[in-house]
Amino acid sequence: MTGRQASPSVAGAEDPIVFVIDDDSSVREALSNLFRSVGLRVEAFGSAHEFLQLKLPNVPSCLILDIRLPRVSGLDFQAELAKADIHIPVIFMTGHGDIPMTVRAMKAGAVDFLTKPFRDQDMLDAVTAAIERDRNSRDEAKVLSNLHELFATLTPRERQVMALVTTGLMNKQIAAEIGLAEITVKIHRGHIMRKMGAKSLPDLVRMAELLGIGPASGQPQT
Amino acid sequence: MIRKPTIKSWRSAEQWLLGSMALALGTVAGIWLLLDPVPMAVPHFAALVLLIASLAASLIMIGLAGRTRRQMEAMLQGQVGAEARAIETLRSSEAQWKEVFEHNPVMYFMVDAKGTVLSVNTFGAAQLGYSVSELLGKSVLKVFPAEEQLAARSNVGVCLENIGQTHSWEICKVRKDGSSLWVRENAKAVRRLDNQLIVLIACEDITERKEAENALRQSEMYLAEAQRLSRTGSFGWRVASGEIIWSEETFRMFGYDKAPSIKHATVFQRVHPDDRARVEQTIDRASRDGKDFAHGYRLLMPDGSVKHVHATAHAVTDASGEMEFVGAVTDITARKRAEMKLHEAQATLAHVTRVTALGELAASIAHEVNQPLAAVVTNAAACRRWLDRDPPDLKEARGTLESIIKDGTRAGEVIQRVRALVSKAPDQKAPLNINDVINEVISLVQHELLNHRISLRLELSPALPLAIADRVQLQQVILNLVINGIEAMQPVMDRPRELMIRTCQDEARQIMVTVKDCGVGLATENADRLFDAFFTTKSGGMGMGLSICRSIVDAHGGRLSASGNAGPGATFHFTLPLDQEGAP
């Protein structure tokens, strides 16, 4: 009754997945049916516990959660996921959503809050938005991790120079700041641009921002 | 006595005459013999002989005549004696009769047509406290109380109209001292030799009998009145003859005119058609077994009204060894009506609390309807999308429709369950599985349990016999116990909240339902009042829930009880008998 419902085999392994947790099998089945009808992969669970048994695949996904779950409420479960560093966009469903609950859910980062029975389009829109959000955050995470990798290839002196360059200092100023010849700074700068794959100074500045590099530390603040 | 001296003197004179003639004849003969001792001349002799002969003959004649006369006299004298004796006898008889008349313990009155007392015997006068002279010449009405005088007058009148005929009646008289006595009078009017019409009356004192009769009548009246007041009639039933004897009240109860005895058919004519078979069965069994019996049934009166009666009968054997039942039948219509009213009031109250309980569960119930409804809407949308595909996926669409039907039915069932609980349906006892009833209730409170983080443990014995019960009423009991359990566990924070519902058969093979919580438990000082109406420990409670639960279970012939757990919390049990014969 609370078993996982397999997604259609036609969907590829990289396709997004919608996870559903609801203790009511009818609702679970209906949601699975709806998502399948629009070609989405679905996995449904009867309880939060069952969901947690799963090793989440690394694909864009979202979680549809009934706010009243047996044993643990949807809101508490949302907090639990955050604590466990599982960042999955959550769409809440409720029989009768009250405002405090909605506010709490949205503050905790819920994508949407739908009241049963909901319009199919509302649900699909919410799911699309959630998956998009997940995909973006996954992309961002990917970009960031690439940047970290590139940043890791820089020498400590290069990192120091990069931090100063991205604050908008001239080569001459940087040379004076760290006691190097202007020409040396220029060479470092060239290496940095090449190693980081930056096309321009603004590009490098954006990367520094993403890495959280400040002039004081010269270290990424992640 | 009459004296007759003449006869006696006549007789002595005759004797004297006869004696003197014989003496004279002897003297003549002596003288002749003395004077002429020689035979005399023949003519003289012949003349003498003739003289003597004639003398003798006359003497004989005189003697004969005297005898005849004496005989005649004797005869005459005898005749006179008999007459005297007769008169004597008559006199003594009259005296005797006079004695009888005067002292016979019967009161004799002789009155004239106007009612004036012509004669009364001493006993009669004495019985009334008068002397004879005090009554003679007075109106006989004097001895009647005012209220009886008219009757007395008319009784005498009747006699006078039917001369020679004897009439009798019972009447009350009044004594000189004012006390009364009852008499039975036999009276007859006769015409005296002097052509005067008189009425002879003989009265016999029946005061004692009358008093006994009155006492009996009074006692009967008291009994009848008591029967009427208590609406209880009595009856006797001789089994062999089938004869039934009813008291006045029984006749009134059954709406029949009084009759000396009646037959069974008459009784059955009034017994409500729906009860006839049962009554007949009871009567048949009683007549077979000869054992005491009691039964209740309804009467359908000719005006269409219905009476409820209860009859109890005791078996006795009469003097002749015949079996007889003596019993009482009570009209319990008023009691039944009161019971029905009470029952109605209880049902109304039960309904109110049921609706209140459902009100508390509104959120839970809404959820129970909303879930399948959400599923239906979602499935319908999915179905449309399957059909909108190119080509349409009919297999999926069909499968989705199946789900829609299933979920729609489910929503309908929830609504039906709620509607049944909200409805004010009369008792509908039918065989049911108690586990089904519990599952139906659980479906309504599932969400409530979830909301309160209560885990439910069901231990429903699968092999339970069916109970004859009213589904809605039992749902109410279970619902109430479950809600109580949920509320009792609300303050519990330090342990898992668990509600257990168990069904089983107890040692008496009765169905037993147990609802156990681990909540605040029962305060010992409240245990006794737990089932009292308006007793509550909850701030928002009416205090009706458990009281109604108990009356519902009682009405099913079961028993609802509560006990504290060895650990935290309380346990409520109720039993249901397998067959409902014990249920009132």
**Cβ contact, residue pair A37, B410, below 8 Å:** no
Residues 394-453, chain B, touching A (beta carbon < 8 A): 396, 399-400, 403, 406-407, 410, 447, 450-451, 453
B142 in the same domain as B36: no
Is residue A115 within 8 angstroms of chain B, CB to CB?
no
Query: Which stretch of A84-88, A213-217, B222-226, B248-252 has the lowest confidence by average pLDDT?
Result: A213-217
Of B266, B238, B273, which is closest to residue B250 (Cα–Cα)? B266
B451 in the same domain as B541: yes
The partner residue sitting opposite B375, judged by closest CB among A23, A27, A70, is A27
B521 in the same domain as B489: yes
For testing the chain B interface, which of A10, A20, A29, A32 should be mutated: the one with the most B CBs within 10 Å? A29
Backbone φ and ψ of B215, nearest 5°: -60, -45
Q: Is residue B50 part of a domain?
A: yes
Domain boundary, last residue among B153, B186, B205: B205
Residues of chain B contacting residue A117, judged by C-beta atoms under 8 Å apart: 370, 373-374, 376-378
How high is the pLDDT of residue B537? 65
The partner residue sitting opposite B371, judged by closest CB among A27, A36, A120, is A27
Q: Is residue B336 part of a domain?
A: no
How high is the pLDDT of residue B539? 61
**Cβ contact, residue pair A116, B371, below 8 Å:** yes
Q: Give me the CATH number covering residue B403.
A: 3.30.565.10
CA B390 to chain A, closest CA, distance in angstroms equals 12
A115 in the same domain as A57: yes
The mean pLDDT of A1-19, rounded to a whole number, is: 59
How high is the pLDDT of residue A6? 45
**Cβ contact, residue pair A118, B403, below 8 Å:** no
B414 in the same domain as B319: no
B476 in the same domain as B360: yes
The partner residue sitting opposite B375, judged by closest CB among A23, A30, A68, is A30
Find tokens 């109604």 and name the residue. B548
Q: Give me the CATH number covering residue A101.
A: 3.40.50.2300
Instruction: Count A/B contacts: CB-CB distance under 8 Å.
Output: 86
Is residue A117 within 8 angstroms of chain B, CB to CB?
yes
Q: Give me the CATH number covering residue A196.
A: 1.10.10.10
How high is the pLDDT of residue B500? 94
Q: Which amino acid is at B468?
A: I
pTM over 0.80: no
B171 in the same domain as B96: no
Domain boundary, last residue among A97, A115, A141: A141
Q: Give me the CATH number covering residue B244.
A: 3.30.450.20
B310 in the same domain as B239: yes
**Cβ contact, residue pair A68, B451, below 8 Å:** yes
How high is the pLDDT of residue B310? 94
Taking CA–CA distances from A93, the nearest residue in chain B reads B374
How high is the pLDDT of residue B307? 93
Q: Is residue A167 part of a domain?
A: yes
- What's the angle, vertex CA A107, arms to CA A20 and CA A74, rounded to 5? 30
B459 DSSP β-pair partners = B502
Q: What is the C-alpha to C-alpha distance for residues B434 and B466, in angstroms, rounded to an integer?
A: 7
Verify cis geometry, omega within 30 degrees of 0, for the bond prior to B496. no
Domain boundary, last residue among B324, B358, B388: B324
For testing the chain A interface, which of B379, B387, B398 should be mutated: the one with the most A CBs within 10 Å? B379
Could you tell me the residue range of the domain that residue B142 belongs to?
104-205
**Cβ contact, residue pair B371, A95, below 8 Å:** yes
Taking CA–CA distances from B388, the nearest residue in chain A reads A37
B35 in the same domain as B111: no
B258 in the same domain as B142: no
B519 in the same domain as B445: yes
How high is the pLDDT of residue A5? 45
The mean pLDDT of A98-115, rounded to a whole number, is: 81
B357 in the same domain as B244: no
Residues 304-333, chain B, touching A (beta carbon < 8 A): none
A135 in the same domain as A35: yes
Of A112, A111, A104, A159, which is closest to residue A133 (Cα–Cα)? A111
Q: Do residues A42 and A31 make contact, with C-beta atoms less than 8 angstroms apart?
A: yes
Find tokens 């002397």 and name the residue. B131
Residues of chain A contacting residue B451, judged by C-beta atoms under 8 Å apart: 68
The mean pLDDT of A10-20, rounded to a whole number, is: 76
Is residue A116 within 8 angstroms of chain B, CB to CB?
yes
Q: Is residue A218 part of a domain?
A: no
Q: Which amino acid is at B177?
A: D
Print burial letters for A107-117: b (CB count within 10 Å at least 16), e (below 16): eeebbbbbbbb
In B272-423, where does DSSP find H-type helix?
273-289, 333-360, 362-388, 394-422
Q: What is the C-alpha to C-alpha distance for residues B526 and B95, in angstroms, rounded to an integer?
A: 100
Is residue A34 within 8 angstroms of chain B, CB to CB?
yes
Q: Is residue A9 part of a domain?
A: no
Residues of chain B contacting residue A96, judged by C-beta atoms under 8 Å apart: 363, 366-367, 370
Q: What is the C-alpha to C-alpha distance for residues B451 and B318, in angstroms, rounded to an integer?
A: 75
Q: Is residue B86 part of a domain?
A: yes
Q: Is residue A55 part of a domain?
A: yes
Q: Do residues B59 and B25 make contact, with C-beta atoms less than 8 angstroms apart?
A: yes
**Cβ contact, residue pair B374, A120, below 8 Å:** no
Residues of chain B contacting residue A30, judged by C-beta atoms under 8 Å apart: 374-376, 378-379, 382, 403, 407
CA B365 to chain A, closest CA, distance in angstroms equals 11
Q: Is residue B337 part of a domain?
A: no
Of B299, B303, B304, B305, which is closest to residue B268 (Cα–Cα)? B299
CA A14 to chain B, closest CA, distance in angstroms equals 23
How high is the pLDDT of residue B14? 62
Give strand ranges (E) for B121-231: 166-174, 180-191, 197-205
Number of domains in chain B: 4
CA A6 to chain B, closest CA, distance in angstroms equals 15
Is residue B367 within 8 angstroms of chain A, CB to CB?
yes
**Cβ contact, residue pair B381, A96, below 8 Å:** no
Q: What is the C-alpha to C-alpha distance for residues B143 and A179, in angstroms, rounded to an integer?
A: 166
Domain boundary, last residue among B179, B205, B231: B205
**Cβ contact, residue pair A117, B376, below 8 Å:** yes
For testing the chain A interface, which of B361, B384, B385 should be mutated: the one with the most A CBs within 10 Å? B385
Residues of chain A contacting residue B393, judged by C-beta atoms under 8 Å apart: 37
Q: Do residues A64 and A31 make contact, with C-beta atoms less than 8 angstroms apart?
A: yes
CA A119 to chain B, closest CA, distance in angstroms equals 7
Is residue A202 within 8 angstroms of chain B, CB to CB?
no
Q: Which amino acid is at B352?
A: V
**Cβ contact, residue pair A26, B403, below 8 Å:** yes
Is residue A119 within 8 angstroms of chain B, CB to CB?
yes
Residues of chain A contacting residue B389, judged by C-beta atoms under 8 Å apart: 37
**Cβ contact, residue pair B371, A31, below 8 Å:** no
How high is the pLDDT of residue B581? 46
**Cβ contact, residue pair A33, B373, below 8 Å:** no
How high is the pLDDT of residue A97? 62
Residues of chain B contacting residue A37, judged by C-beta atoms under 8 Å apart: 382-383, 385-386, 389, 393, 396
CA torsion B129→B133→B134→B137, rounded to 10°? 130
Backbone φ and ψ of A210, nearest 5°: -60, -40
Taking CA–CA distances from B409, the nearest residue in chain A reads A26
Q: Is residue B332 part of a domain?
A: no
B13 in the same domain as B127: no
A98 in the same domain as A28: yes
Q: Is residue A2 part of a domain?
A: no
Taking CA–CA distances from A67, the nearest residue in chain B reads B451
Is residue A30 within 8 angstroms of chain B, CB to CB?
yes
- Residues in chain B predicted with pLDDT less than 50, given as ranges, are 1-7, 580-584
CA A132 to chain B, closest CA, distance in angstroms equals 22
A131 in the same domain as A59: yes
Cα A156 to chain center, whole Å?
30
Domain boundary, last residue among A141, A170, A196: A141
pLDDT at A131 over 80: yes
pLDDT at A3 over 80: no
Is residue A26 within 8 angstroms of chain B, CB to CB?
yes
A27 in the same domain as A66: yes
Q: Do residues B297 and B254 make contact, with C-beta atoms less than 8 angstroms apart?
A: no
Residues of chain A contacting residue B406, judged by C-beta atoms under 8 Å apart: 26
A105 in the same domain as A70: yes
CA B493 to chain A, closest CA, distance in angstroms equals 14
Q: Is residue A216 part of a domain?
A: no
A181 in the same domain as A135: no
Q: Is residue B330 part of a domain?
A: no
How high is the pLDDT of residue A13? 59
Express each pLDDT in B520-579 by its tens digit. 888 776 767 777 766 666 666 666 678 888 888 888 889 998 888 888 888 999 999 876
B110 DSSP β-pair partners = B119, B200
Could you tell me the residue range of the domain that residue A175 belongs to?
153-211
**Cβ contact, residue pair A117, B373, below 8 Å:** yes
Of B466, B483, B473, which is closest to residue B556 (Cα–Cα)? B473
B323 DSSP β-pair partners = B317
Number of domains in chain A: 2
